[in-house]
Amino acid sequence: MTAATLARPAELRQRLTGAADSAHLAACSIAPRTLDVDQAMTRMLDDLSRPGFWQECEQQLTRARHLFARLIGADVDQIAVLPNASIAAHQAAAGRRWRRRREILTTRDEFPGIAHVWLAQPGARVRWCTTQPGAPGTGSYLAQITPRAALVSVPAVTYRDSTRLDVRHIADAAHDAGAAVFVDAYQAAGVMPLGVDALGCDYLVTGTGKYLLGLPGLAFLYVRHPGGPPPTLTGWLGRTDPHRFLTPVLDSPPHARRYETGTPAAAAVYAAVAGLSLIGDLDLRQVRHHTQRLIAATAKRLTAQGEFVRLAADAETQGAHLALVEPHAEAMAAWLGHRGVIAAPRSGVLRLAMHAYTTNEDIDAACESVAAYRCRSRTRPGAAR
């Protein structure tokens, strides 16, 4: 399959299996099921009943690492594979002493799991920037970066309101102040171009279960300069040669696999290869353009219906989902789900996530279902309460 074919939403749309008749607008939470992941699962089960399952699984792991490295313009030796983004963040902080420079600068719009890892660092002090809904928090970061900062943690796109931050700008300021830069790209990877050199970050994490079209259970950590003190959270895959199984020897390779731990979730590994292969066939600039157009159209329509949406000040600072304000977003999502519109509720908003496969018909279905929900439930749009 070529970029030209998969870049057309209809081509990728045909590969969705679970949600073939639904509008799947929830990739900010969970990827839709695809033919490719279905086939990968069948392959994994077939491999399970043959000798050499672990060798095959390790090959898949290596393939996933390469595909991800290519996606973000990194070297494969800068990538570690871990079970989730929280552990990846923990590994990024591994070996930091938090003594003279003790500050971790982050935002209240950071995904909780990442912020909790920062809060749990012994000796570190977390400082919070604010990201106004609909206005990027870039300025707030720039105003608060000082030489006390050891680590500046930036979500590429915020998980709730879908605000895209100017990571490059923040990274340049952080580096000028002598701080390292960590990026949580879970809400960006797979749905917009993402290059670590363009971002200028020292660490980047993301997982495979959302826009990367795989399954939950696998995350990647990019480390610009792997090395330094070895992590204390480790396992047999973190060794220089894991296959020597030398129980008393705790060595660490110079590359990012030093941050890896134990046996990964095999299903997530196979699915990661399937999802990353699909993403690798996309022209992510076109995908970004497509999702921005759909978000603008959806926002306009929902606003005309009397709904309140949190939209960024300009298309550049909007992520790939639209946040509709609704205090009872879970109830609304359940109602919509029964009508074939799969959305992602979170903390007072209903998130409608766009991807390459999203069509105008999906948007029609979502807007019509929201209108029908208002009639049936006799509720008023969120911010009006």
Ligand X SMILES: Cc1ncc(COP(=O)(O)O)c(C=O)c1O
> Which residue ranges make up the site for ligand X (CB under 6 A)?
84-86, 111, 113-114, 155, 159, 184, 186-187, 207, 219
- In Å, the largest CA–CA distance within the chain is 67
Tell me how far apart the alpha carbons of residues 193 and 287 are, in angstroms, rounded to a whole number: 9
Give the residue carrying structure tokens 């799991």.
Answer: 113
Q: Is the CB of 150 or the CB of 189 nearer to ligand X?
A: 189
The minimum distance between CB 372 and ligand X, in angstroms, equals: 28
Q: Is the CB of 6 or the CB of 322 nearer to ligand X?
A: 322
The minimum distance between CB 91 and ligand X, in angstroms, equals: 12
The minimum distance between CB 244 and ligand X, in angstroms, equals: 30
How many Cα atoms sit within 13 Å of 53 on the Cβ side? 13
Query: How many helices and strands (H and E) does the chain possess?
Result: 13, 13
Q: Is the CB of 265 or the CB of 371 nearer to ligand X?
A: 265
The minimum distance between CB 113 and ligand X, in angstroms, equals: 4
Element housing 119 (H / E): helix 112-119
Q: How many residues does the chain have?
A: 385
The minimum distance between CB 54 and ligand X, in angstroms, equals: 24
Q: Is 200 left (phi over 0), alpha (psi -120 to 50) or beta?
A: left
Q: Is the CB of 65 or the CB of 351 nearer to ligand X?
A: 351
The minimum distance between CB 154 and ligand X, in angstroms, equals: 11
Of the candidates 287, 216, 228, the one whose C-alpha atom is nearest the C-alpha of residue 259 is 228
Give the residue carrying structure tokens 């070529």.
Answer: 2
Q: Is the CB of 343 or the CB of 365 nearer to ligand X?
A: 343
Q: Is the CB of 207 or the CB of 264 nearer to ligand X?
A: 207
Q: Is the CB of 57 or the CB of 85 nearer to ligand X?
A: 85
Tell me how far apart the alpha carbons of residues 54 and 31 are, in angstroms, rounded to a whole number: 26
Tell me how far apart the alpha carbons of residues 170 and 201 are, in angstroms, rounded to a whole number: 9
Q: What are phi and psi of 156, to 5 degrees?
A: -60, -40
Tell me how far apart the alpha carbons of residues 68 and 66 are, in angstroms, rounded to a whole number: 5
The minimum distance between CB 382 and ligand X, in angstroms, equals: 21
